[in-house]
């Protein structure tokens, strides 16, 4: 009887070991982790809803039903891209090289690749939902909110750098930048959005080169002029 009791105690003690690693029961830890995740998700949901409400308010639709539909479309999209990003971290993409450049993929590259695998239906639902209730100008306004006005900002940069930018050149660049904007709305943060815009900025610069311009020379001339202006200002106002 004694031997059986000892064996029983030993077996139970052995089975309980995994439950006491580091002095903490995994079940309690799991419940705590799940609660923290749920709390973080609820907080993020409120942030997405607040963001969407602010964007829709700026449209001045003056139609409660329309506002509710547009807001719902945006909230659904914002939550979907957030969840996809969080469920598909960069580690799901094997480390390797960019076949176009030969450069090693960095973590941002890998995250962009992971997010680019999101079903096309997510983007289509956003655009279809917006166009159901909004004019094209209003749709563009919403896309600008997603990308914090990067189309206008980047275009102004080209106007500053490229001497005597022609209307045809400006129109072509605008097409590329709007393509960048529509693609970028499906990415979670500004680093990812900027990475998408870089793809289309490269296309813009290749277009300018093919149109008899030298992007490298124009950019150098622009940066040199900025440096010269700073030097002249410093010379005119020497520190005491």
Percent of the chain's residues with pLDDT above 70? 86
Q: Do 80 and 122 contact (CB within 8 A), yes or no?
A: yes
Closest listed residue to residue 173, CA positions, set 211, 207, 214: 207
Q: What is the pLDDT of residues 50-109, one digit of tens each?
A: 999 999 999 999 999 999 999 999 999 999 999 999 999 999 999 999 998 899 999 999
Confidence at 189, pLDDT banded by 50, 70, 90 = very high
DSSP state of 101: T
Average pLDDT, the chain: 89
Query: Which residues does 186 contact at the CB level (< 8 Å), separation at least 6?
Result: 81, 115, 118, 122, 123
97 backbone dihedrals φ, ψ, rounded to 5°? -115, 155
What pLDDT is recorded for position 104?
Answer: 96
pTM for this predicted structure:
0.82
């Amino acid at each position: 009887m004694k031997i059986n009791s000892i064996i029983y105690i030993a077996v139970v003690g052995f089975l309980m070991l995994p439950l006491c690693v580091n002095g903490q029961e995994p079940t309690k830890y799991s419940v705590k982790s799940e609660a923290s995740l749920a709390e973080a998700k609820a907080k993020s949901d409120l942030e997405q809803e607040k963001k969407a409400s602010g964007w829709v308010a700026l449209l001045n639709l003056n139609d409660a039903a329309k506002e509710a539909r547009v807001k719902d479309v945006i909230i659904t999209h914002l939550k979907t891209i957030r969840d996809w990003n969080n469920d598909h971290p960069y580690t799901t993409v094997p480390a390797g090289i960019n076949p176009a450049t030969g450069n090693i993929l960095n973590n941002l590259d890998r995250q962009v690749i992971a997010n680019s695998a999101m079903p096309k239906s997510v983007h289509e639902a956003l655009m279809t939902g917006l166009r159901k209730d909004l004019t094209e100008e209003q749709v563009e306004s919403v896309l600008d909110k997603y990308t914090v006005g990067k189309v206008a900002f980047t275009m102004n940069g080209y106007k500053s750098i490229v001497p005597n930018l022609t209307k045809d050149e400006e129109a072509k660049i605008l097409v590329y930048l709007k393509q960048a904007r529509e693609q970028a709305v499906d990415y979670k943060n500004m680093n990812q959005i900027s990475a998408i815009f870089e793809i289309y900025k490269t296309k813009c610069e290749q277009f300018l080169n093919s149109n008899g311009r030298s992007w490298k020379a124009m950019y150098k001339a622009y940066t040199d002029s900025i440096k010269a202006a700073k030097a002249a200002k410093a010379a005119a106002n020497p520190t005491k």
